[in-house]
């Protein structure tokens, strides 16, 4: 694009041709800041549009540097207008990463991501990533922060655990452990149990072992990133998590979608039990695939009769719809 720079008397001070295509994202962010300070509106608008339109491509090539710049180096953004535009860019880049977490978490430079940026990402309810995978990456990140840190957890001393916990303390606070199933917890989290508060470990074990448990510690909303089609899954209030449902013609699909013949990937009128209260019978599938306590507070899911489609072990439902009542 062609840029004209003028002074307060509208006299031209500079004329130049700028090609944005071959510039790094951080360079363009700095260019936009300079344009804001010089009040070059055409360059401001053009750069902002270019950054938004090419957000995914930029994240593919340089996600760590972008996030460290946008979410950590706040001293670069001092003017009110700059802050407003940066907030818009932050929201777009953050949304893109939440929908495509591999752009950040699979980056070869992931261990260079600043802790503040990582905490911000993990606080997002729409991060489309399994909690056990998040935990794996956090452990990798924490170990990498100290080259002398032992990588084999079976060889850890008490001092090794204290050192790693100090690095991960704030990050552990935002991991949604109750959304990790029992098997994943034992395989991935249990070896590092000394990093977690004792009351949280006890609460997790209780929820895995006791029927119809209600989590007491470390409660977070369910991450909603895995829901891709609102025709078959609807959100409830974010105070805890989502409620899933379909319509009478598609079957009761809990976080799934209908298959040929009217059945569903999870439950459904086309195959098997749809829903029952465990106080009187069973749950979906004739076992405990899905069941709810009599007070309806915290629903439970334990994969038994249906494939695992990533539903959390415990979640709250704000509303649900009964399609049919059959009297035996």
pLDDT tens digits, 264-279? 334 333 333 334 444 4
Has residue 169 been placed in a domain?
yes
Domain-terminating residue out of 71, 94, 119: 119
The Cα 131–Cα 312 span in angstroms is 10
Using CA of residue 207, residue 189, residue 129, residue 114, what is the dihedral sign?
A: positive
The predicted pLDDT at position 41 comes to: 83
Q: How far is CA 27 from CA 38, 47, 118, in A?
A: 17, 11, 22
The Cα 230–Cα 224 span in angstroms is 11
> Residues 88, 135: one domain?
no
Has residue 156 been placed in a domain?
yes
Has residue 242 been placed in a domain?
no
Q: Which domain holds residue 202?
A: 125-209
Residue 30: pLDDT band (50, 70, 90) is confident
> Residues 23, 101: one domain?
yes
pLDDT tens digits, 289-299? 666 665 556 67
pLDDT tens digits, 71-117? 876 555 555 555 677 788 889 999 999 999 999 999 999 999 999 99
Domain-terminating residue out of 119, 137, 154: 119
Q: Say what the alpha-carbon torsion angle 248, 252, 258, 259 is, to the nearest 10 degrees.
A: -100
More confident call, 137 vs 18: 137
> Residues 45, 147: one domain?
no
In the predicted model, is pLDDT for residue 138 greater than 60?
Answer: yes
Q: Which residues, at least 6 apart from 105, have a Cβ–Cβ distance to it below 8 Å?
A: 129, 133, 134, 137
The predicted pLDDT at position 33 comes to: 78
The predicted pLDDT at position 147 comes to: 87
Mean pLDDT throughout 204-233? Answer: 70
The Cα 70–Cα 87 span in angstroms is 9
The predicted pLDDT at position 31 comes to: 82
Has residue 101 been placed in a domain?
yes
Domain-terminating residue out of 101, 119, 137: 119
> Residues 169, 101: one domain?
no
Q: How is 152-213 classified by DSSP, letter by letter? A: -GGG--HHHHHHHHHHHHHHHTT--GGGS-HHHIIIIIGGGGGGS-HHHHHHHHHHHHSSS-
> Residues 147, 191: one domain?
yes
> Residues 145, 205: one domain?
yes
In the predicted model, is pLDDT for residue 155 greater than 80?
Answer: yes
> Among 17-26, 86-95, 235-244, where is mean pLDDT lowest?
235-244
Has residue 287 been placed in a domain?
no
> Residues 202, 137: one domain?
yes
Backbone angles phi, psi at 216, to 5 degrees: -110, -20
Backbone angles phi, psi at 33, to 5 degrees: -60, -45
Pairing of strands 12-17, 2-6: antiparallel
Report the 10 Å Cβ neighbour count for 10. 6
CB 149 within 8 A of CB 164: yes
Pairing of strands 314-316, 298-300: antiparallel
| Mean predicted lDDT score pLDDT of the chain | 73
Mean pLDDT throughout 243-259? Answer: 36
pLDDT tens digits, 296-316? 566 777 766 566 666 677 776
Q: How many domains does the chain have?
A: 2
Has residue 94 been placed in a domain?
yes
> Residues 180, 105: one domain?
no
Please state the separation of Cα 293 from the chain's center in Å. Answer: 28
In the predicted model, is pLDDT for residue 327 greater than 70?
Answer: no
> Residues 81, 149: one domain?
no
Report the 10 Å Cβ neighbour count for 118. 22
Has residue 188 been placed in a domain?
yes
> Among 89-98, 170-179, 210-219, where is mean pLDDT lowest?
210-219
Pairing of strands 314-316, 2-6: unpaired
Residue among 78, 301, 282 at smallest CA distance from 207:
301
**pTM, two decimal places:** 0.65
The predicted pLDDT at position 140 comes to: 96
Helix (H) or strand (E) holding 248: none
The predicted pLDDT at position 204 comes to: 92
> Residues 28, 84: one domain?
yes
DSSP assignment, residue 120? H
């Amino acid at each position: 694009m062609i840029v004209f720079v003028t002074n307060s008397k509208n006299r031209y001070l500079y004329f130049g041709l700028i090609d944005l295509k071959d510039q790094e994202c951080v360079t363009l962010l700095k260019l936009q800041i300079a344009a804001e300070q010089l009040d070059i509106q055409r360059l401001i608008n053009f750069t902002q549009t270019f950054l938004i339109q090419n957000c995914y491509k930029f994240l593919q090539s340089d996600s760590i540097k972008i996030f460290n710049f946008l979410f950590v180096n706040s001293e670069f953004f001092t003017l009110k207008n700059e802050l407003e535009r940066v907030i818009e860019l932050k929201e777009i880049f953050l949304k893109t990463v939440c929908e495509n977490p591999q752009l950040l978490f699979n980056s070869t430079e992931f261990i260079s991501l600043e802790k503040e940026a990582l905490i911000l990402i993990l606080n997002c309810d729409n991060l489309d990533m399994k909690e056990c995978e998040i935990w794996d990456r956090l452990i990798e990140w924490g170990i990498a922060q100290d080259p002398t840190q032992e990588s084999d957890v079976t060889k850890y001393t008490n001092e090794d655990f204290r050192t790693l916990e100090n690095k991960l303390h704030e990050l552990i606070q935002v991991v949604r452990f109750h959304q990790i199933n029992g098997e994943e917890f034992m395989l991935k989290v249990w070896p590092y149990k000394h990093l977690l508060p004792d009351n949280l470990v006890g609460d997790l074990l209780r929820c895995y072992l006791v029927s119809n448990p209600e989590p007491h510690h470390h409660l977070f909303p369910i991450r909603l990133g895995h829901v891709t089609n609102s025709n078959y899954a609807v959100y409830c209030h974010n105070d805890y998590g989502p409620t899933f449902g379909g319509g009478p013609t598609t079957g009761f699909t809990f976080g799934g979608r209908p298959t040929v013949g009217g059945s569903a990937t999870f439950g459904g009128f086309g195959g098997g039990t749809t829903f029952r209260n465990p106080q009187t019978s069973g749950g979906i599938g004739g076992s405990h695939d899905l069941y709810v306590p009599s007070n309806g507070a915290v629903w439970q899911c334990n994969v038994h009769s249906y494939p695992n489609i990533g539903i959390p072990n415990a979640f709250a439902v704000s509303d649900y719809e009964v399609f049919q009542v059959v009297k035996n």
